[in-house]
């Protein structure tokens, strides 16, 4: 017999083997992680350079804006660096630096909006604070403290309530915030500081210097106009919708229709999705651009106020138009698809109709881009002929849409009604069970409960399959997906009238030039700058 010490020795040896295997495995994992980390470190500089290069290549105006901000900060820093200037403004020169950081935006309209709001808020707050200071100085020390506290409360509450007014919130919200900040700084500090008037003057001068540098850089050094960005983004939205419609119809009639299961990454890379995504996400961008464009001095060549809000209305109509394109794209990913043998019957008229729709949308984009009215024959006879061809093709196949065997559908409905009656009778039979003894009734209830749960689980598994079988067994269901696709395509044609009406209204208000017979549709390509215009000009919403 083995002794107790022998068993202990064997366990120690086995434990040592296990520890050594675990240690070797952990060392391998550590080496693997070190190799992966070293590879990431080695690739990091190249990744950073690629990102920096791509951001500047997509829109060179970003590089120019960064250089302008750097130059502006350098200029306001001279208030500190140059001794004669520093003696004049003192430590309040930091307010000029803060003003440049906060006010200087990507577009001239955004800079004007924030700069003028900041200047107006500072002037009004300073004037009101000095008025209250003059009244408070005529009273005693105690009454002065009470008066300052009451003034801070009343002005703060009133100014905050004004921020809820839609017009104030839209145009002067930043100015009200600066008004509150400046008023409280001057009013409260005046109770302990004697020479507050001098401090306020110095701060006003430095803020004015900062705003002046920002306006100079935005308006005179390679200016970027919000109105021009809004104009270009509208053109890009038309072009994106045209490409989406054409690509969607071509994809629908391809030999290999896209799979139903589409990952998020593939969906984001889909050119059809990219075409209408900008339109769906454009509401807030259009409103901000229109607001900033209304502050810009350059409205039109004829010195009229350019109708930037009409671009916002046009964007709303385009979004309604884009929703139909989204639904058309959804037909490509439907659970039940029309067979290829049926789709091929309607391929030519649908592709022709999509081509005519694309021509109309591109003509609208071309008219806005060149600031001219649309062609009087924009809805040409070719579009109506394409609609007639599609209508004729659908009427030529009545069996696909109406069904040739009505008995089959009648039998399906009768079968469903019989199944419903059987279920009702079964439920009634269960509810009218006879009264038995407690033990037998409990045992029977448990058995029936278990069988019902098993049947319910089976029904949950089979219900989707039975639903698909029941749907596909109906003969006319083969053409239903295509009927939805064709209906959406015709609805796009109907919605073109609303879009054309808004474009013509824009041309009338903006005094677009008249259409000449020589103005033909040229290949209007959407530049990369137009595609990225909605991503690089949005301002920061801080209230510094």
pLDDT at residue 462 tops 80: no
pLDDT at residue 35 tops 90: no
pLDDT at residue 34 tops 90: no
Contact 79, 86 (CB under 8 A): yes
- Nearest-angstrom CA–CA distance, 173 and 160: 10
The pLDDT-based confidence of 132 (bands split at 50, 70, 90) is confident
- Nearest-angstrom CA–CA distance, 358 and 325: 12
CA 394, 395, 401 angle in degrees (round to 5)? Answer: 70
Q: How far is CA 190 from CA 143, 155, 180, 204, 208, in A?
A: 14, 16, 15, 16, 22
State the chain's mean pLDDT as an integer. Answer: 76
Strand segments, DSSP code E, in 395-543 are none
- Looking up tokens 């110095």 gives 202
**pLDDT for the residue 529:** 45
- Looking up tokens 């219900």 gives 463
**pLDDT for the residue 361:** 92
Q: How far is CA 522 from CA 137, 298, 373, in A?
A: 73, 28, 15
Q: pLDDT: is 543 or 281 the higher one?
A: 281
**pLDDT for the residue 425:** 52
Which region, left, alpha or beta, applies to residue 167 given φ > 0 means left and ψ of -120 to 50 means alpha?
alpha
The pLDDT-based confidence of 25 (bands split at 50, 70, 90) is low
**pLDDT for the residue 261:** 46
pLDDT at residue 459 tops 70: no
- Nearest-angstrom CA–CA distance, 106 and 226: 9
Between 308-330 and 283-295, two packed helices, what is the crossing angle to 10 degrees?
170
The pLDDT-based confidence of 523 (bands split at 50, 70, 90) is very low
Q: pLDDT: is 538 or 308 the higher one?
A: 308
Give tens-digit pLDDT for 244-271.
Answer: 999 999 988 885 554 444 444 455 567 7
First CA to last CA distance, the chain: 86
- Nearest-angstrom CA–CA distance, 317 and 499: 6
3-state SS record for 288-326:
HHHHHHHHCCCCCCCCCCCCHHHHHHHHHHHHHHHHHHH
Tell me the domains of the chain and their CATH numbers. 60-220 (no CATH), 226-254+269-397+476-510 (1.20.58)
- Give the range with max mean pLDDT: 300-304, 471-475, 514-518: 514-518
Percent of the chain whose predicted confidence (pLDDT) is above 90: 26
Q: Identify the bridge partners of residue 372 per DSSP, sorted by sequence position.
A: 513
CA 420, 423, 427 angle in degrees (round to 5)? Answer: 140
**pLDDT for the residue 500:** 92
Give tens-digit pLDDT for 60-81.
Answer: 899 999 999 999 999 988 887 7
Q: pLDDT: is 40 or 296 the higher one?
A: 296
Q: What is the mean pLDDT of residues 510-529?
A: 62
pLDDT at residue 383 tops 80: yes
Helix (H, G, I), strand (E, B) or coil at 81: helix
Give tens-digit pLDDT for 45-60.
Answer: 888 888 888 888 888 8
**pLDDT for the residue 393:** 85
Q: Which two tokens stand for residue 411?
A: 């039998």
Contacts of residue 351, Cβ cutoff 8 Å, sequence gap at least 6: 249, 250, 253
Give tens-digit pLDDT for 134-151.
Answer: 887 777 677 788 888 898
**pLDDT for the residue 326:** 92
Q: Which two tokens stand for residue 368?
A: 């806005």
pLDDT at residue 540 tops 90: no
**pLDDT for the residue 414:** 43
Helix (H, G, I), strand (E, B) or coil at 513: strand
Q: pLDDT: is 434 or 445 the higher one?
A: 445
**pLDDT for the residue 409:** 41
Contact 513, 371 (CB under 8 A): yes
Q: pLDDT: is 479 or 176 the higher one?
A: 176
Strand segments, DSSP code E, in 180-278 are none
pLDDT at residue 397 tops 70: yes
Q: For residue 102, what is the enclosing H or E element? A: helix 94-103
Give tens-digit pLDDT for 351-375.
Answer: 999 999 999 999 999 999 988 888 8
pLDDT at residue 92 tops 80: no
- Give the range with max mean pLDDT: 97-101, 446-450, 533-537: 97-101
Helix (H, G, I), strand (E, B) or coil at 438: helix
Which region, left, alpha or beta, applies to residue 140 given φ > 0 means left and ψ of -120 to 50 means alpha?
beta
**pLDDT for the residue 239:** 93
The pLDDT-based confidence of 333 (bands split at 50, 70, 90) is confident
- Nearest-angstrom CA–CA distance, 284 and 230: 12
pLDDT at residue 520 tops 80: no
Contact 479, 400 (CB under 8 A): yes
The pLDDT-based confidence of 502 (bands split at 50, 70, 90) is very high
Contact 497, 302 (CB under 8 A): no
Residue 369 phi/psi, 5-degree rounding, is -60, -40
pLDDT at residue 9 tops 60: no
Q: What is the mean pLDDT of residues 170-177?
A: 91
The pLDDT-based confidence of 455 (bands split at 50, 70, 90) is low
- Nearest-angstrom CA–CA distance, 282 and 237: 9
Sign of CA dihedral 209, 215, 220, 224: positive
Give tens-digit pLDDT for 413-431.
Answer: 444 444 445 545 554 444 4
pLDDT at residue 498 tops 70: yes
């Amino acid at each position: 017999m083995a002794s107790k010490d022998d068993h202990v020795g064997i366990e120690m040896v086995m434990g040592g083997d296990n520890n050594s295997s675990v240690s070797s495995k952990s060392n391998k994992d550590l080496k693997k992680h070190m190799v992966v980390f070293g590879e990431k470190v080695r690739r990091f500089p190249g990744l950073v350079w690629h990102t920096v290069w791509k951001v500047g290549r997509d829109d060179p105006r970003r590089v120019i804006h960064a250089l302008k901000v750097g130059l502006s900060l350098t200029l306001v820093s001279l208030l500190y660096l140059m001794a004669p200037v520093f003696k004049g403004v003192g430590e309040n020169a930091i307010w000029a630096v803060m003003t440049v950081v906060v006010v200087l935006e990507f577009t001239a309209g955004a800079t004007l909006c924030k700069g003028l709001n900041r200047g107006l808020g500072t002037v009004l707050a300073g004037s009101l604070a000095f008025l209250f200071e003059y009244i408070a100085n005529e009273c005693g020390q105690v009454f002065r403290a009470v008066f300052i506290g009451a003034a801070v409360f009343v002005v703060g509450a009133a100014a905050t309530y004004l921020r809820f007014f839609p017009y104030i919130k839209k145009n002067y919200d930043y100015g009200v915030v600066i008004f509150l900040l400046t008023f409280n700084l001057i009013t409260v500090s005046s109770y302990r500081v004697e020479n507050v008037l001098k401090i306020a003057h110095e701060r006003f001068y430095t803020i004015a210097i900062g705003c002046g540098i920002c306006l100079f850089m935005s308006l005179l050094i390679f200016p970027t106009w919000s109105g021009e960005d809004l104009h270009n983004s509208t053109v890009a939205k038309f072009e994106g919708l045209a490409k989406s419609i054409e690509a969607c119809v071509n994809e629908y009639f391809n030999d290999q229709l896209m799979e139903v299961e589409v990952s998020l990454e593939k969906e984001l890379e889909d050119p059809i999705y990219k075409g209408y995504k900008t339109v769906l996400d454009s509401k807030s961008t259009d409103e901000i651009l229109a607001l900033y464009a209304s502050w810009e001095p350059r409205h039109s060549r004829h010195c009229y106020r350019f109708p930037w809000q009409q671009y916002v209305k046009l964007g709303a109509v385009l979004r309604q138009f884009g929703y139909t394109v989204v639904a058309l794209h959804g037909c490509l990913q439907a659970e039940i698809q029309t067979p290829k043998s049926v789709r091929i019957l309607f391929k030519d008229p649908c592709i022709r109709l999509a081509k005519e729709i694309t021509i109309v949308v591109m003509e609208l984009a071309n008219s806005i881009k060149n600031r001219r009215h649309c062609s009087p024959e924009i809805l040409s006879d070719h579009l109506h002929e394409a609609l007639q061809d599609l209508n004729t093709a659908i009427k030529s196949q009545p069996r696909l849409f109406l069904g040739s065997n009505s008995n089959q559908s009648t039998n399906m409905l009768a079968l469903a009604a019989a199944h419903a009656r059987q279920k009702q009778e079964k439920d009634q039979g269960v509810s009218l069970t006879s009264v038995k003894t407690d033990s037998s009734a409990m045992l029977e209830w448990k058995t029936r409960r278990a069988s019902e749960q098993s049947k319910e689980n089976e029904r949950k598994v089979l219900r989707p399959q039975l639903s698909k079988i029941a749907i596909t067994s109906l003969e006319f269901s083969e053409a239903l997906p295509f009927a939805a696709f064709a209906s959406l395509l015709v609805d796009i044609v109907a919605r073109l009238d609303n879009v054309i009406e808004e474009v013509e209204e824009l041309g009338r208000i903006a005094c677009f030039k008249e259409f000449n017979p020589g103005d033909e549709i040229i290949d209007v390509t959407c530049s990369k700058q137009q595609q990225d215009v909605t991503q690089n000009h949005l301002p920061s919403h801080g209230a510094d």
